[in-house]
Chain A
Amino acid sequence: MLEGIMMGLATALSLQNLLMVVAGCLIGTLIGMLPGLGPMSIIAIMIPIAIKIGDPSAALILLAGVYYGAIFGGSTSSILINAPGVAGTVATAFDGYPMARQGKAGKALTIAAISSFAGGTIGAILLMGFAPALASVALLFHSAEYFALMVVGLSAIAAFAGTGKVVKALMMTVLGLILATVGESALFNAPRFTMGIMDLQSGFSFVTLAMALFALPEAMMLVLDPKRGSAGGAGGKITDLRITRAEAWTIAPVIARQSIQGFLIGVMPGAGATIASFLGYAVERNIAKGAEQEEFGKGSIKGLAAPETANNAACTGSFVPLLTLGIPGSGTTAILLGALIALNVTPGPRLMIDNPAIFWAVIISMYIGNFVLLVLNLPLIPYIAKLLLIPRNYLIPFILFFTMIGAYIGQNNATELLILVGLGVCATILRFADYPLPPLLIGFILGGMLENNFARAVNLTDGVGFMVERPMTLALLIFGAILIILPAYRRRRALALQKGVAPGD
């Protein structure tokens, strides 16, 4: 293994390859900031350039740089303007955006950068050590287990069910699941609930919905109430940029746990960064105690570090099935698989034996991509954070423009913009009525995968008996139920304690 690492280092540390990774990180960060262009599309766009390079190691290093850059860029728009352009960064906006409004944008970006770096690096170490062993475990996961995993992912909604809001949070989740059923039906892809509108045949687009539910209502609130967000004493000023030692110690265990958990989820083909980030958020919220738990959703540093670490670790984890089995576990790795094949490299069980130089170059390029990204971005963060100081009269039209163009370039369809505005207005009204919006998006994102896997499992076993017959499914479902019920139970107990009732009563 040491020999392999040396071989990879020798390849990756040449001047040409270092320039590649720097260029990749910069391009990825810049383009990734535009909502609507996630890592997947940016890598797809970069493939012709990568193939022109010819040398597989150099091409992969460039793509790794672009990949990590794009993920960081996506987190930036989630944190600064509440516009998550990729499903994997939706959970980042839950706590990142409130932090930014409290004047802690710089700190939020720093935490995001450090968590991403740690998640990616620890993920790469795990990938190096356990790739072959994990590949066989991933194959044990069938549609029944995937379904159960989605249910566990849905439990992240519990974070948005404050007092008197449980029913509302459930309602929004169910509505999200309903929106996910529009488009094509499970398994056979016949048009379903499209109301005869052609543009709806491919379903609602994720970017449109994310912009309509997160970015637009927030921009509208900024228009309605110019003093908004200045209540926290920060008044739009950017107060602290760096994280303190105490904060670093607070997030360190979160990063450690989520790197491993995220990586393991990423290993399962199809689960990926999105579920990892929601699950990471849900788990960390449940582990957190008392006041820290209350902070979640209102600008908790743990709530920001958890999904950022988990989604990066999961991205790295998704390379396990790609490199060892040749199975792309996510959209991004599927595109990378295409690029590898175009470069005359076939990932699979024989990659490590036939092309050890490339296998190790991929892994080393992950370390370098992560490291260069951190070095490049930490000095830039104060400047990126200052974007929020742009006067309101300029900032708001630009936020609106970027949300619309994000939805437009995804589909190249003006109807999408009308859907965006319509849903955005509805979402703003829902906020007035105190309906939490994140559960709707969580339901929408997980809905499609949930239904498909459930349908497959039911049809394979001819009934719902699989839920109790398969031990792993049962265990996951019970885990999900605990994650949903525990917060409500704890809350009730805390209330009872306040009233002076003994815990045993």
Chain B
Amino acid sequence: MTLDKAIAAVFLLVGLIYGYAAFTYRLLPFEQNMSFLPNTLPTVLSILVVFLALIILVSPKAKAEPGGDVLGDISLERLREYKTGQALTLIAAMVLYALALRPAGFLAATVLFIVAGGWILGERKLHVMIPVALVAAGSVWFLVQETLGIYLRPLPGFLS
């Protein structure tokens, strides 16, 4: 099974679950006599998803257009050439950043994230990377909090 069919199978499942949720949606008392209910559109959409997913599942594999993506082909066959390790580590770093943003404070979390991101990609000049990250984090913090007044906790929780 090719990747797009596997994904279509997932969509089929999503459509069924969503359809079930739409079908069992509990209406408010005053909504029950209306012509258009909050679950009318979801029901239609779930039927459409199931229908489209089935079409993708049964249709023969379409020949990819050559040069369909001008930016360079994206294909699973080239997965071995791709730097999957770097990508996965970066995703992990993003999740850590999301979790650390509040407790560690904006400045520390951001500087660490940018430096770690550069390190993962192969940058070893820490004497350049760290000042750049500090300036960037500081100026974004200054712009967002001091100029625009949107609160970003700058320091770790126990300090502020």
Q: Are A and B physically bound partners?
A: yes
Interface residues of A (CB under 8 A from B): 31, 34, 37, 45, 98, 101-102, 162-165, 167-168, 170-171, 174-175, 177-178, 181, 185-188, 190, 192-193, 220-221, 223-232, 298-299, 391-394, 396-398, 400-401, 404-405, 408-409, 412, 414, 417-418, 420-421, 424-425, 429-435, 451, 454-455, 458-459, 462-463
Contact A223 B70 (CB under 8 A): no
Instruction: For chain B, residues 1 to 59, give those with C-beta under 8 angstroms from any C-beta of chain A.
Output: 2-4, 6-8, 11, 18, 21-22, 25, 28, 30-31, 34-36, 38, 40-42, 45-46, 48-49, 52-53, 55-56, 59
Residue from A101, A228, A400, A433 in contact with B3 in the complex, judged by beta carbons closer than 8 Å? A433
Contact B3 A409 (CB under 8 A): no
Instruction: For chain B, residues 92 to 113, give those with C-beta under 8 angstroms from any C-beta of chain A.
Output: 94-95, 97-99, 101-102, 110, 113
Contact B123 A167 (CB under 8 A): no
Having A171-B53, A397-B118, one finds 16 other A-B pairs with CB under 8 Å, namely: A37-B148, A165-B62, A167-B52, A177-B45, A178-B46, A178-B49, A226-B83, A409-B152, A414-B98, A418-B95, A418-B98, A421-B91, A434-B4, A455-B40, A459-B36, A462-B35
A391's closest neighbor in chain B, by CB?
B123
Contact A31 B143 (CB under 8 A): yes
Q: What is the number of residues of chain B that contact chain A, defined by CB distance less than 8 Å?
A: 77
Contact A224 B117 (CB under 8 A): no
Contact B83 A397 (CB under 8 A): no
| A–B complex contacts, Cβ < 8 Å, 5 sampled | A178-B49, A181-B45, A392-B121, A393-B118, A435-B7
Contact B35 A181 (CB under 8 A): no
- What residues of chain B lie closer than 8 Å to A421, measured between beta carbons? 91, 94-95, 98
Give complex CA distance A373, B129 in Å: 34
Contact B149 A45 (CB under 8 A): yes
Q: Given the known A-B contacts A165-B62, A188-B31, A459-B36, are A228 and B71 also in contact in the complex, defined by CB atoms under 8 Å?
A: yes
Contact A170 B52 (CB under 8 A): yes
- What residues of chain A lie closer than 8 Å to B129, measured between beta carbons? 394
Contact B41 A186 (CB under 8 A): yes
Contact B91 A425 (CB under 8 A): yes
Contact B70 A298 (CB under 8 A): yes
B31's closest neighbor in chain A, by CB?
A188
Contact B68 A162 (CB under 8 A): yes
Q: Given the known A-B contacts A178-B45, A458-B35, are A417 and B94 also in contact in the complex, defined by CB atoms under 8 Å?
A: yes
Q: Is the interface of B mostly helix, strand, loop or mixed?
A: helix
B158 within 8 A of A: no
Chain B 111-138: CB-based contact to A (< 8 A → 1; otherwise 0): 0011011100111000001001000100
Q: Given the known A-B contacts A404-B97, A434-B4, are A175 and B11 also in contact in the complex, defined by CB atoms under 8 Å?
A: yes
Give complex CA distance A169, B149 in Å: 41
B75 within 8 A of A: yes
Contact A433 B7 (CB under 8 A): yes
Q: Given the known A-B contacts A45-B148, A400-B94, A417-B101, are A431 and B41 also in contact in the complex, defined by CB atoms under 8 Å?
A: no
Give complex CA distance A391, B65 in Å: 32
- What residues of chain B lie closer than 8 Å to A230, measured between beta carbons? 72
| Shortest CB distance B26–A (Å) | 9
Contact A224 B87 (CB under 8 A): yes
Give complex CA distance A101, B72 in Å: 10
B159 within 8 A of A: no
Chain B 76-96: CB-based contact to A (< 8 A → 1; otherwise 0): 101001111011001100110
Residue with the highest number of chain A CB atoms closer than 10 Å, among B4, B22, B121: B121
- What residues of chain B lie closer than 8 Å to A451, measured between beta carbons? 41
- What residues of chain B lie closer than 8 Å to A433, measured between beta carbons? 2-4, 6-7
A431's closest neighbor in chain B, by CB?
B74
Give complex CA distance A451, B52 in Å: 21
- What residues of chain B lie closer than 8 Å to A175, measured between beta carbons? 11, 49
Give complex CA distance A414, B117 in Å: 19
- What residues of chain A lie closer than 8 Å to B82, measured between beta carbons? 224-225
Contact A190 B35 (CB under 8 A): no
Contact A398 B75 (CB under 8 A): no
| Shortest CB distance B136–A (Å) | 7
B150's closest neighbor in chain A, by CB?
A409
- What residues of chain B lie closer than 8 Å to A98, measured between beta carbons? 70-71
Contact A220 B87 (CB under 8 A): yes
Q: Give 4 nearest A-B pairs by CB, closest first.
A: A164-B62, A397-B117, A417-B98, A185-B38
| Shortest CB distance B84–A (Å) | 7
| Shortest CB distance A55–B (Å) | 23
B137's closest neighbor in chain A, by CB?
A401
- What residues of chain A lie closer than 8 Å to B90, measured between beta carbons? 220, 223, 396, 400
Contact A167 B38 (CB under 8 A): no
Contact B113 A401 (CB under 8 A): yes
Residue from B41, B52, B101 in contact with A414 in the complex, judged by beta carbons closer than 8 Å? B101
Give complex CA distance A409, B94 in Å: 16
- What residues of chain A lie closer than 8 Å to B76, measured between beta carbons? 432
Give complex CA distance A462, B33 in Å: 11
Contact A417 B97 (CB under 8 A): yes
| Shortest CB distance A313–B (Å) | 28
Contact A224 B83 (CB under 8 A): yes
- What residues of chain A lie closer than 8 Å to B97, measured between beta carbons? 404, 417
Give complex CA distance A451, B42 in Å: 10
- What residues of chain A lie closer than 8 Å to B36, measured between beta carbons? 186-187, 454-455, 458-459
Give complex CA distance A475, B82 in Å: 50
Give complex CA distance A454, B34 in Å: 13
| Shortest CB distance B111–A (Å) | 10
Contact B28 A190 (CB under 8 A): yes
- What residues of chain A lie closer than 8 Å to B45, measured between beta carbons? 174, 177-178, 181
- What residues of chain B lie closer than 8 Å to A224, measured between beta carbons? 82-84, 86-87
